[in-house]
Structure 1
Amino acid sequence: MNNSAIIIRDNLTEVYEDVYSSGVLEALAYMAPFNEEVKKLMNIRLRRRKERSQNESRITFLNPETNIPGTNIKVSDAREGNFEGAEIPSDLQRQWIQGTGPGAKPNASLESSIRNVAYALLSGADGWMFDGEDALGQVSTMSLDNQRNLKLAIHKSPVFLSVAEEVATQMNNWSRIFFGQDKIQDWRTQLNFTTKIFRARGLHLDDRHIRLSDGASFSASIADLVLYVVNNASALISAGSSIVLYLPKIQTAEEAALWNRMISALESHLELEEGTVKVYVLVEQLEATYQLMEIRAALGRHFVGYNTGRWDYINSVSDAMAWDQSFINPNIESIGMTYGYMRNYEDRVRRAVNTPDMNGNFALWQGGMEPNIPVGSTEGVNSSMEKALAGAERELSEGASGKWVAHWKMVHIVRPVWEKKNEANQMGRTFERLSYTQEDADGLIYLEPAPRTIRGARNLLSVGLQYGNAFGQGMQAAALKPADFFGDENVLYLMEDMATGEIRLSILWEWLHKHAEITSADVDAGVEEGAIFTQELFDKLLEEEYDKLLNANNKDVYEASKVTTLPIAKSIVKKYVGEEKKIPWFIDLLNINLNNVDLKMADKRIDLYIKLLNEKGERVTENLDFTI
């Protein structure tokens, strides 16, 4: 397929000539035939979801006597480790702390935007996952700004080095106050410490700037894979660094096999040895937990490890069990990594990575996210940091080789947990082999008794509304807390991204449509213990929490957003939670309203989305503002 098959909107090939280089355009055209395969698998996803709902059937393990779809690997062989995996490269052997966040800011100059990358690479994190997905805003051309900033940083351009020197001074000023010492001794040397990692957008998302000449929307996964690898492969290899990706939202080994074929095809096109690109997989979907060894096998020489993220996974469990009236989650605060189905999920992941492949290779387990930011009152910071350290200690004891943090200020707070153990990783630690019984399957959806309160509902609503508003403003990662705690410095802001917004609405949907019982009385709301969470109660709480945001100061809710993106966020929350048939992706309703501040237009687009989903089983995923 030649370059004419790819259409890039407006004049972006000129404005972003450094990002859309000739090599990138050639590779996009070469990879374009995979777009049809991506669309096919996404249609299969929706059909599988619909059939489970109609048949009221649970997810099950694969038949061990069959081949993994899209491969010639037998399921039973994958489970036994009879496949060729990857050796872990030297710069991934020790990943005690990985930071995560976007490499760009919305509506910012290059010098301001690229500071995000400087903070990351000077943070002291062993690796930094520069996010192209859940935490990266997609307003205007932010996805391209992200790619540009990463390219400039990886190639150590003068503009990046100048900004990095300034940022190092600022970071040391904070370190002296907080730790009593500088944490950056030589900023130029420090830039080489952190392994660069990029999270591509998931297979369920479309790119906002590219489509095919036949009018088909174009997979964001293909776009991100091509732009990052083509622009940076040579520089990374020359520096002795690995080319590393995080792959999100994979549901099945068949989808992993498609990723494997795409990556191998790009390696071949660039004349790289197969297996040069390494990938972590975020275990964010319930179905993936039933196919962990199969996913490892399908990705073969590319696979290096799993990550156990909390928020997306909770949401996937909620979505997979939407048909089951008895499956109702408690307050989000109760669903930690030791809760019921979460405990069993984590246990399967650690056992999967420490099952050797045919060459005796193990894989890495990177623990979950620490969302705290050490900004607030002394009491609040101390309390939150104690919880953060306790969480890290627990993951270390369970066998994780490291964990994530959502802010650079957390790196040197949490990293000492692994420094004290002073082992590069915990690969090869002995755990029981995975089993595939009904008891195992039941454990992955095991609910434990926990509170379901009006306070919990307010928190869900408040943060859900704020997240939708932040998304519309271009901040897919935002420091948020419930409105009732605005001004309370003892309650810290937490870094929230798409997944944290999505699970809040999913739980509210459960409570409303499954007639959840409130477990304790709430005098202020006039709700008694055992009361049912009704539409009337939801509407009442929604209006009250929305009013709090309208009356909040500019620090917590931008004044301009109160008449632009906040009303749209409210409409999305109301329709998402109120829709009888659960909508598969909250992000869809947000994406179709990016760069739109007209509430009437937003409602029209939301109604179109719901109509097509209900009548044709189709998702609207393309950029509705696309112009040729």
Structure 2
Amino acid sequence: MSNPKIHIRENLEKSYSDIFTNETLAALSKLSSFNPIIKELMDVRIQRRNNRIKNKQRIKFLDPDSLIEGTTILVNDARSGNFEGKPVPDDLLRQWVQGTGPAAKPNAPLKNSIRNVAYALLSGADGWMFDGEDALGQINSMSLDNQRNLKLAIQRSPVFLEVAHTVAQEMNKWSIGFLGRTIIEDWEKQLDFTTIIFRARGLHLDDRHIKDEMGSAMAASIVDLVLYVVNNYENLQKKGSSIVLYLPKIQTASEAGLWNRMISALEDHLGLEDGTVRVYVLVEQLEATFQLMEIRAALGKHFVGFNTGRWDYINSVSDAMCWDRNFVNPNIESITMTYGYMRNYEDRVRRAVNTPDRSGNFALWQGGMEPNIPVGSEHGVAISMDKALKGGEREQLEGASGKWVAHWKMVHIIRPIWEKKGFQNQLGRKFPALGYSLEDADGLLELEEAPRTVDGARNLISVALQYGNAFGQGMQAAALKPADFFNNDNVLYLMEDMATGEIRVSILWEWIHKKAVITCDDQGSGVRKGDTFSPDLFEKLLEEEYEKLLIASDRDVHDGSKDTTLPISKEIVKTFVLNKEKLPWFIDLLNINLNNVEIDEARKRIAKYILEFIGSGKRITENLDF
């Protein structure tokens, strides 16, 4: 072992010596001191959650006269913009469309796996967030494949250039058929158009391959930060590109402050100026929306903007309010970005980025995800693309400087929304100042009347089962739709990631444990308007939706998964939803079963997790096979 402060599983240090270089090993060792700090902060996070549930408390704004924990910044100073920031770098000033997706594929040879990067960098997106978290499978050593592919692409290695040349021809063939024109004129020049961004894993996750000197699983955030930055910063700087990260699942300004200290420590270790690494923050957690300016201030010169996602945020609201029997979400399809609490969340984000810091710097607001893919019947594609365009137009009018797409084919469909306006971004657009009243807090939990139906429950169950199955197969980003629409090309597949599973099981848990009322009759199940969503009804629907997946074609449900990872997915969904105590993360139960295909072993691991969490409030986050 090259460094006694870290331990790398099996022979991975040797087989990934291009990733585990002397430089990255030294940096991992340096930042390993943050590992126990992260673990302690995550324990505090869970304890805070548990106390809110126990005491039936809503999340509140911070005391304006207090210090942001872990910093020397007063909350009031943060809210008024009295903190040090930094201008948006040139290559992030125009981010009309950012694509998202992993840089690797499961169980694929290099030339096949690295195609993901070629599609991304040839897509015409202004930026591409290469995902190390929700959309990246974690079976085997995929997290390291992801890092390797990015490094090879950024280096412009011969293998990447060979693949990119082929991919460019394929992309042009598609675009001629769909758009009536080519989208790539000079493929080598096109590779330099897109700003490369990397999403590290959240503080709540552990890496599967590395432990610290105490034998504790290394926080995945440390591993991702170090491997991406150390392996690529020199080549990015030579090209004049910024070093940019997306930071996920931050709940508080104190967590943002910890990220800030880790990034600064790495910059210092590498001899980089403080503020060289720039970060977007995904506002995926309800608690973060109560601390937006405080998060900006805590990240200081590293901060560049916020992103407003949908699925993760809905899940966080559901989880934060799991104790309140009167807080029950409707069908997931009804919770759009204009729905009650989502509308108010988005409004707070746009106000926060347009509050200047002490030097007059504003920040960026990147709009949420467009999950549609233009594949299906002509009628289905037309309807879905119209919906996608209207969604993008709405965000642009509301003040977003761009949005996300989940597939490269959507880039040139969405891009004209901003392109025709002509301006680079909407930095500094005038909005009312952020408020911190009880009314503002209540708005972040505003429910509106919307359907709650048996069909809605079927959709939640079907996609949750499929997502858990895809996860076990190494596809954390998967094109999915409810089983009832498998043979209906008018209903398009949507690109779904980890948040897809999280929110669906959270809403199902709500409906059962809060005795949700169904809002209309359902002839197929015999459920009547006014009936409650019972455990018996859930189990009946679960069996029916599971049977549909067992008889589905290999196109929709891989045949090899039907007696391996699909039964495990069913067990996890059923256990999570029926468990009396709301578990904090669906991904925990999936993670502890990665690379396991035995249902009996899965049941043991699930039982172990629940016993540990209920008994001590501790999550099991490490790789049980390490």
1:356 maps to 356
Q: Distance in 1 between matches of 2:377 and 2:534?
A: 38
Following superposition of structure 1 onto structure 2, how do residues 453-492 of structure 1 map, counting pairs within 5 Å?
453-492=453-492
1:344 maps to 344
Structure 1 gaps, min length 5: none
1:231 maps to 231
Q: Percent identity?
A: 70
Secondary structure of the residue aligned to 1:524 is: coil
Q: Distance in 1 between matches of 2:556 and 2:217?
A: 36
Q: Distance in 1 between matches of 2:377 and 2:217?
A: 48
* Contact map agreement 1:67 1:74 (CA 8 A) in 2: yes
Q: Distance in 2 between matches of 1:202 and 1:438?
A: 30
2:51 maps to 51
* Contact map agreement 2:473 2:565 (CA 8 A) in 1: yes
* Contact map agreement 1:2 1:29 (CA 8 A) in 2: no
User: How far has the Cα of 1:2 moved from its partner?
Assistant: 8.8
* Contact map agreement 2:137 2:475 (CA 8 A) in 1: yes
Q: Distance in 1 between matches of 2:2 and 2:344?
A: 48
* Contact map agreement 1:518 1:533 (CA 8 A) in 2: yes
* Contact map agreement 1:281 1:306 (CA 8 A) in 2: yes
Moved more, 337-346 or 204-213: 204-213
1:136 maps to 136
1:329 maps to 329
Per-residue Cα deviation, 1:225-249 (whole angstroms, up to 9, x for no partner)? 0000000000000100000000000
Secondary structure of the residue aligned to 1:424 is: coil
Per-residue Cα deviation, 1:30-52 (whole angstroms, up to 9, x for no partner)? 00000011001100000000000
Following superposition of structure 1 onto structure 2, how do residues 152-167 of structure 1 map, counting pairs within 5 Å?
152-167=152-167
TM-score (norm 2): 1.00
Secondary structure of the residue aligned to 1:153 is: helix
Structure 2 gaps, min length 5: none
Per-residue Cα deviation, 1:596-623 (whole angstroms, up to 9, x for no partner)? 0000000000000000000011000000
- Which amino acid in 2 is paired with 1:174? W
2:15 maps to 15
* Contact map agreement 2:2 2:25 (CA 8 A) in 1: no
Secondary structure of the residue aligned to 1:87 is: coil
Per-residue Cα deviation, 1:107-149 (whole angstroms, up to 9, x for no partner)? 0000000000000000000000000000000000000000000
User: How far has the Cα of 1:213 moved from its partner?
Assistant: 2.8
2:258 maps to 258
Following superposition of structure 1 onto structure 2, how do residues 534-553 of structure 1 map, counting pairs within 5 Å?
534-553=534-553
Determine whether 1:441 maps to 2:454: no
Secondary structure of the residue aligned to 1:4 is: coil
Secondary structure of the residue aligned to 1:421 is: coil
Q: Distance in 1 between matches of 2:483 and 2:123?
A: 30
Per-residue Cα deviation, 1:257-286 (whole angstroms, up to 9, x for no partner)? 000000000000000000000000000000
Determine whether 1:39 maps to 2:73: no
Secondary structure of the residue aligned to 2:112 is: helix
Q: Distance in 1 between matches of 2:269 and 2:98?
A: 30
- Which amino acid in 2 is paired with 1:285? Q
Following superposition of structure 1 onto structure 2, how do residues 173-322 of structure 1 map, counting pairs within 5 Å?
173-322=173-322
Question: What value does the CA root-mean-square deviation take over the aligned residues?
Answer: 0.7
Q: Distance in 2 between matches of 1:138 and 1:36?
A: 23
1:105 maps to 105
Q: Distance in 2 between matches of 1:422 and 1:586?
A: 42
Secondary structure of the residue aligned to 2:103 is: coil
1:122 maps to 122
Q: Distance in 2 between matches of 1:239 and 1:561?
A: 43
- Which amino acid in 2 is paired with 1:384? S
Q: Distance in 2 between matches of 1:378 and 1:63?
A: 55
Q: Distance in 1 between matches of 2:141 and 2:378?
A: 39
- Which amino acid in 2 is paired with 1:62? L
- Which amino acid in 2 is paired with 1:130? F
Moved more, 212-221 or 259-268: 212-221
Secondary structure of the residue aligned to 1:358 is: coil
2:387 maps to 387
1:5 maps to 5
- Which amino acid in 2 is paired with 1:225? L
Q: Distance in 2 between matches of 1:55 and 1:217?
A: 32
Q: Distance in 2 between matches of 1:107 and 1:523?
A: 44
* Contact map agreement 2:370 2:406 (CA 8 A) in 1: yes
Secondary structure of the residue aligned to 1:367 is: strand
Q: Distance in 1 between matches of 2:147 and 2:483?
A: 34
Secondary structure of the residue aligned to 2:420 is: helix
Deviating 4+ runs (over 6 angstroms): none
* Contact map agreement 1:401 1:425 (CA 8 A) in 2: yes
TM-score (norm 1): 0.99
Total equivalences in the alignment? 626
Q: Distance in 2 between matches of 1:114 and 1:291?
A: 38
Q: Distance in 2 between matches of 1:436 and 1:350?
A: 15
- Which amino acid in 2 is paired with 1:405? V
2:519 maps to 519
Q: Distance in 1 between matches of 2:498 and 2:528?
A: 33
Determine whether 1:93 maps to 2:85: no
Secondary structure of the residue aligned to 2:60 is: coil
Secondary structure of the residue aligned to 2:572 is: helix
Secondary structure of the residue aligned to 2:403 is: strand
